[in-house]
Amino acid sequence: MAKMLGDRSAGERQGIAARAKGGLLVLGGFVAVLFVIEVINFLLTRSLNRTFGLRPRSADGLLDILTFPLLHANLNHLLSNALPLIIFGFLVFLSGIRVFLTALGFSWLGSGLTVWLIGDPGVTVGASGLVFGLFAFLLVRGFFNSSWKQILLAVVLFMLYGSILFGLLPTVAGFVSWQAHLGGAAGSVAAALLLRPRNRTATLAPGNRSGI
């Protein structure tokens, strides 16, 4: 029995290490792509923003939902999103690629649809909706999963980064798109609800244990 528990513990550690390595590669690669796009966009005098930025309530703007988080207004805009995107994305990735892709996809879609429906006139770009989405996912998933480890992580993250939630308020967000932030957060909450264990037995089963 002790040997079996030791093997299982070693296997879990190896699994977490593999997810951590995969998370760094995926998030690092994604942010690297954002910087490459930023350089190209700069060289083209921001013409990519005009072509692929999200235009609210326009028929062809629906396709822009797929591209607008990949573009930024300037380098400082990208830099403000890059680090939290890596941190929050990495922490979500520790629970597995399926969880990460679901949270990211719902954040992306929720952010884009909200901007398209109620966004201010003009063109919206930026990955901040994804940042808010991944952050909100980390804050709420532990309550849906009944996981004290995830709740503890949520408390720590809220203490460190909770002030960014002011970006959800129209009166505080200023020139940034609070609609993108709100939609990304709402999408990720829906993802956390979708990914919750269906029953207590499923939560406790060894094969269904989540990462951090």
CATH number of the structural domain spanning residue 117: 1.20.1540.10
30-78: pLDDT as tens digits: 999 999 999 999 999 999 999 999 999 998 889 999 999 999 999 999 9
Hey, how many other C-beta atoms are within 10 angstroms of the C-beta on 107? 33
> What is the pTM (predicted TM-score) of this model?
0.87
Question: Could you give the number of structural domains in the chain?
Answer: 1
**Cα–Cα distance, 107 to 109 (Å, whole number):** 6
DSSP per-residue codes, 46-60: THHHHHHSB-TT-TT
Which residue range(s) make up the domain with 146?
A: 2-208
Task: Indicate which residue of 95, 107, 111, 128 is catalytic.
Answer: 128
Hey, how many other C-beta atoms are within 10 angstroms of the C-beta on 148? 9
Task: Indicate which residue of 111, 147, 177, 181 is catalytic.
Answer: 181
Q: How many CA atoms lie within 13 A of 117 on its CB side?
A: 10
C-beta of residue 211 within 8 angstroms of C-beta of residue 147 = no
Q: Which residues pair with residue 124 across a beta bridge?
A: 54
Catalytic residue status for 128: yes
Catalytic residue status for 181: yes
Return per-residue pLDDT of the chain as tens, 212 residues.
Answer: 544 445 566 666 777 888 999 999 999 999 999 999 999 999 999 999 999 999 999 988 899 999 999 999 999 999 999 999 999 999 999 999 999 999 999 999 999 999 999 999 999 999 999 999 999 999 999 999 999 999 999 999 999 999 999 999 887 656 789 999 999 999 999 999 999 987 654 444 444 445 56
